[in-house]
Structure 1
Amino acid sequence: MYVGVDIGGSSIKIGLLDEDGAMKDKKNFPTPKTKEEILDDIVQIISDYKTKYVIKAVGISVPGVVEEDGYLTTAGAIKCLYGINIKEEMAKRTGIFVHVENDANAASIAEKWGGAAQDVAHYLSLVVGTGIGGCLVVNNEIYRGAHARAGEFGWMLLDDNQDDLNLSTMNLQAATIIGLLRIYNLKSGEKIDDARVIYDRAEDGEYLAQTVLAKFHRKLAQGILNVAVVFDPAMVVIGGGISANKTFLKELQMAYKQLQNEHSALVDMDFPEIVPAKFENEAGIIGAVYSLKITLNKEEK
């Protein structure tokens, strides 16, 4: 058995997985405020599992810049984990082999383990949520880059706002929370916190919702197209809660195709299909364990 740990800014999810990736047990609790509380709570659950099962190793998914040795240069909104080597800390406390992966990478590589990208060697994965993260998978492996920062698609510039360059980023134009919802609320004067409300209003004929969504889909498609022409993936997998919305996926695919048709150099080329991720809330757990298994297989060789 393996234990997968998905550390998020608001909650921590822990799962018990078998060799084939089947989830045998799952636990969820709010993310504590201090490093010691976070690690102690995780270790307690792992210890409980150890009394019932033989635990081979632990895979951890965590936000931020994760170095190969498990050092967290950053950890997203979890400030108390900045600057620690969580792999070493957890290995000492559990006595088990530990592997650590960036959360977007984990969610992305999970799709190779029975998900949307099974048997696909080269693909692009985006997680569209508060911001936009993701990864490039090349020859069945995550491409990390020289500084473990590959896949930070949200930092890409989609245009050039000289008053505030941050507003030109993919995060602030094409993410669900700081992109779509922020822009709609700014224009409407409301405080909508669920993107489904905007889609419902668009379907009911509201002009503002329709125009904001049209630009949102085009900007997201633009970012995807930019990466696709550089990387040439076989598939684009979209994750995040919004990926379950069929209208979102349909409109994104249409915007993506429209951009290709407008681009004279690309109009006759075959471009990768955009597909929704299979794994949603469990992606971090599954991906942490799959990444762990890949690492163990390499070390055994």
Structure 2
Amino acid sequence: MARQYLSIDVGGTAVKSARIDHSGNIIVKRRTATPRDQAAFLHLLTSIVDRQPGVAAICVSVPGIVNPATGAVKFTGALAFMGSFPLAAYLRQYAGLPVYVGNDANCATLAELWLGNLTDVRNGAVITLGTSVGGGLVINGQLVHGPHFRAGELSAIVNNYDHADPHQATVGASASAVKMIMAVAQACNLPNLKDGQRAFEEINKRKGPAWSIFTDFCRRVAVLLINVQAVVDLDRIVIGGGISAQPILISEVRHQFRLLQEGDRRLHDDIEMPTIMAARFGNGANLLGALYGLLLKIEEED
């Protein structure tokens, strides 16, 4: 039987796990609500390990600042209750197996680099649009971590210098896909403010408040892409997150990028528009990327 691995994707609302083979084929997959305290969280992880005997190694994708060499994590967002925690060492001691831990946006980028839309791309990026904005940068074919393991933290970019609230001045606030969906739902009097499919039914009509809210959102995403492009000059940017499955998102972001360039000669002359496309992988991206991070680590150590 081919070697198999346990991959775990820790999210703010759910912890997903999968048994995956060396080629990236998902054999079995589970989903559990994310606990809200450290003891319950660690118990869930160890129970997931116990349910998958016979795996060769464990890989984990988490929200937070991760040292990929040691697997130590400074958890952020909904997992901030974990604080700073040596997650890889903890799981290694518990399971007696090799363990890799990676940042969630970096894992999504590794999935695209391995089997997705960044394969054979020397310089590219993944930008994930969700509750906030995540990112991963690939330069000269390598995922960039940075000396402080914070490369690609696009949500922290300030794009509104004059806003009195520092948080609201950041990309994480202004380019939140979740906030955009909620704004569309409110404007259209939809019963469920979190129903993205229903919101896009309104957006696809291309009229009224839904269209205006959506195009404003895409313009802000295009501004983010221009800012990234001004610094690293990429060949391709792939957009992930749940809304990336909507074809209208990619086409409108491209359109807004062109409008910005047409409106200012500097943006036209100094910025090369990269290929902009949807990420190949959706909800399974972090599971696959965590495995690729593990395989790369094993290769480096051999």
Aligned residue in 1 for 2:288:
286
Q: Does 1:276 align with 2:269?
A: no
Aligned to 2:219: 218
The answer to whether structure 1 residue 143 and structure 2 residue 144 are counterparts is yes
Distance 1:205 1:23, change over 3 A: closer
Match of 2:24 in 1: 21
Bigger shift: residues 161-170 or 110-119: 161-170
For the pair 1:40 / 2:28, whether they are aligned, the reply is no
* Conservation of the 8 A alpha-carbon contact between 2:205 and 2:211: no
* Cα distance in 1 for residues equivalent to 2:59 and 2:139: 21
Distance 2:264 2:126 in 1: 23
Residues 76-125 of structure 1: CA deviation (Å, up to 9, x unaligned): 21133212110111001000011110011101111112111111121111
Q: Which moved more, 1:186-195 or 1:18-27?
A: 186-195
Residue type of the partner of 1:285?
A: L
Aligned mate of 1:6, from 9, 29, 44: 9
- Secondary structure (helix, strand or coil) at the match of 2:268 reads coil
- The number of residues matched between the two structures is 296
Question: Deviation at 1:161?
Answer: 3.0
Q: Which moved more, 1:225-234 or 1:164-173?
A: 164-173
Q: 1:147 is paired with a residue of what secondary structure? A: coil
Q: What is the match of residue 160 of structure 1?
A: 161
2:162 and 2:199 mapped to 1: Cα distance?
Answer: 25
SS for the counterpart of 1:165 is coil
Describe the superposition over 1:56-88 as per-residue Cα deviations: whole angstroms up to 9, x where unpaired. 211110001112322222232113321211011
Cα displacement string for residues 99-156 of structure 1 (whole angstroms, at most 9, x for unaligned residues): 1100111011111121111111211111100000111112222211222111111121
Q: Which has the higher contact order (CA 8 A, sep 6+)?
A: 1
Letter in 1 for 2:227: N
Equivalent position of 1:118 in the other structure: 119
1:65 to 2:68 alignment: no
| In 1, Cα distance between equivalents of 2:63 and 2:135 | 11
Tell me if 1:255 matches 2:264: no
1:299–1:252 Cα change, 3 Å: same
Moved more, 101-110 or 195-204: 195-204
Say which is worse superposed, 10-19 or 254-263, in terms of deviation: 254-263
Residue identity over aligned pairs, in percent, reads: 28
Deviating beyond 4 angstroms after TM superposition, the runs of 4 or more aligned structure 1 residues are 182-191
Q: Return the letter of the residue paired with 1:41.
A: L
Query: For residues 67 and 77 of structure 1, what CA distance do their matches in structure 2 show?
Result: 19
Q: Which amino acid aligns with 1:8?
A: G
Comparing 67-76 and 188-197, the one that deviates more: 188-197
Moved more, 115-124 or 161-170: 161-170
| 1:248-301 Cα shifts (integer Å, max 9, x gaps) | 11111111122223231342564211111111111111011101111111111x
5+ unaligned residues in a row in structure 1: which ranges? none
Take 1:129 and 1:104, find their aligned partners in 2: how far apart are those partners? Answer: 11
Aligned-pair CA distance for 1:35: 2.5
Counterpart of 1:36, as a letter, is: A
How far apart in 2 are the matches of 1:2 and 1:201?
A: 42
SS at 1:250's partner residue?
A: helix
8 A Cα contact 1:62 1:75, kept in partner: no
After TM superposition, give the deviation of residue 198 of structure 1 in Å: 3.7
Q: Which residue of 1 aligns with 2:56?
A: 56
Distance 1:167 1:186, change over 3 A: farther
In structure 2, relative to structure 1, the CA distance for the partners of 1:3 and 1:206 (3 Å cut) is same
1:296 match: 298
Letter in 1 for 2:60: I
SS in 2 for 1:2: strand
CA distance in 1, matches of 2:224, 2:297: 31
Report the TM-score when normalising by structure 1.
Answer: 0.90
- Per the TM alignment, residue 163 of structure 1 is displaced from its structure 2 partner at its CA by 2.7
